Amino acid sequence: SWRFIILQSLMLLCWAFLNLIAWVHHWDPYPFILMNLVLSLQAAYAAPIIMMSQNRQAERDRLEAHNDYMINKKAEQEVHTIIAHNSAQNEALKTLHQEILKLEELINNISGKSL
């Protein structure tokens, strides 16, 4: 975070400043070997922690992608079911329409004969 970066930068500046102007005791004289050691240790621990974090995130991403795939697969099956149901309704509607046309023709024939 930015807070950490700013805090660490201030600490490093204070470290260097206090060691450069120290009147009595320089615990880490220029070129700041101890500070380099501390920063190297921090980097040595930071890299594996970052990699472990990335691995955990990658695993979460894989699980999320698998869940998305399963949801999409289920949705596709439901769409196919709905399409099949609509096709069956269309066929039934065509049959009913043909029956209605036949009945209208019969009614017209009967009406024409009675006149």
Decide if pLDDT at 7 tops 90: yes
Q: Express each pLDDT in 67-99 by its tens digit.
A: 999 999 999 999 999 999 999 999 999 999 999
Which domain range does residue 49 map to?
Answer: 31-114
Q: Is residue 1 in a domain? A: no
Total domain count, the chain: 1
3-state secondary structure the chain: CHHHHHHHHHHHHHHHHHHHHCCCCCCCCCCCHHHHHHHHHHHHHHHHHHHHHHHHHHHHHHHHHHHHHHHHHHHHHHHHHHHHHHHHHHHHHHHHHHHHHHHHHHHHHHHHHHC
Predicted local distance difference test score (pLDDT) of residue 45: 94
Q: Is residue 14 in a domain? A: no
Q: Is residue 22 in a domain? A: no
Q: Express each pLDDT in 10-50 by its tens digit.
A: 999 999 998 888 777 888 888 899 999 999 999 999 999 99
Q: Is residue 102 in a domain? A: yes
Q: Is residue 57 in a domain? A: yes
Q: Is residue 87 in a domain? A: yes
Predicted local distance difference test score (pLDDT) of residue 111: 85
